[in-house]
Amino acid sequence: MTTTPTASPELLDLAACPFCGGTEAFVERADYSAAFVVCDSRVDEHSVCMARGPIGIQDDDGEEVPGQAAAIREWNKAAALARRAQPESGSLEAELKRRMDVFAAGHEAAVDYIRSELEKARAALAAQQAAAPGALEPVDYDLLPPVGSKVLIHLARQDEWVEHTVTGYYVWPAHKHQVKEGEKNAHRVFVRVKDGNGYDNARLLSEFKAVTQHAGQPDGGQGEGQ
């Protein structure tokens, strides 16, 4: 994270810290487009305030320190609110209420920023899922069915197509009689599955049907997978 030096001219406009009343502070980058103010004022001989202001989002792409101006504005808003909420008495309850009011107001921008980033992430995930391959296609068999998806395999002892769940994959070299002379990259692709009772099985990729196919349809396989 990048820290803006205390001597930055913009920091001369900073209001006093709403927590300790100090005037020493710096701006720290939150990410590529946001920043926040941190109080660097001494509380006593051995400690520093380090109160953190709300996150400010850059106003435009041309800012030298993205988000600094907004962070200073938000800090000053919190300081102004703290002055208005200053209790007449020095009671613990009143002081606690003042600090809670400052905290709530000061972090409103941070909550909005996080909500905005979450919405962006949800939109990106939805787009990625929409573009991802679906379940096993009924005819082409050129894509591996995703782990956890349902497929049909033919069980000879029952002479019927039975639904299984995909659990993994493995690859073997192709049979010699299937490989052209000099060919070294031909392989057979197998898919591991498990039935409803937990029994494992495996089939060539070409020996599957998608669950959308009816069991009475002819086998849609295309021979052994390469």
Specify the CATH number for the domain of residue 178. 2.30.30.140
Residue 140 shares a structural domain with residue 49: no
Residue 92 shares a structural domain with residue 165: no
Domain range holding 89?
3-129
Domain boundary among 104, 129, 154: 129
Residue 11 shares a structural domain with residue 109: yes
Residue 69 shares a structural domain with residue 123: yes
Tell me the average confidence (pLDDT) per consecutive run of 10 residues in the chain, 226 residues long.
Answer: 48 80 88 90 87 88 86 88 62 68 69 80 78 52 78 88 90 71 72 90 84 51 39
Structure tokens at 182: 């000099």
Q: What is the pLDDT of residue 165?
A: 92
Judge contact between 102 and 78, C-beta under 8 A. Answer: yes
Domain boundary among 96, 111, 129: 129
Residue 119 shares a structural domain with residue 139: no
Residue 121 shares a structural domain with residue 160: no
SS percent in the chain: helix, strand, coil, step 5: 30, 25, 45
User: How many whole angstroms separate alpha carbon 120 and alpha carbon 180?
Assistant: 50
Domain boundary among 129, 154, 176: 129
Q: What is the pLDDT of residue 222?
A: 39
Evaluated on CA atoms 226, 186, 193, 134, the torsion sign reads: negative
Q: What is the pLDDT of residue 224?
A: 38
User: How many whole angstroms separate alpha carbon 94 and alpha carbon 109?
Assistant: 25
Residue 162 shares a structural domain with residue 96: no
How many domains does the chain divide into? Answer: 2
CA angle 37, 101, 117 (to 5 degrees): 55
**49 Cβ partners below 8 Å, 6+ apart?**
17, 19, 20, 22, 39, 40, 41, 42, 43
Judge contact between 72 and 37, C-beta under 8 A. Answer: yes
Q: What is the pLDDT of residue 217?
A: 46
Alpha helices in the chain (DSSP H): 68-84, 92-106, 108-131
Q: What is the pLDDT of residue 213?
A: 52
CA distances (Å), origin 161, targets 5, 83, 150, 167, 205: 71, 75, 12, 18, 15
Residue 80 shares a structural domain with residue 124: yes
Evaluated on CA atoms 158, 162, 166, 169, the torsion sign reads: positive
Residue 12 shares a structural domain with residue 123: yes
Evaluated on CA atoms 99, 105, 110, 112, the torsion sign reads: positive
Q: What is the pLDDT of residue 84?
A: 66
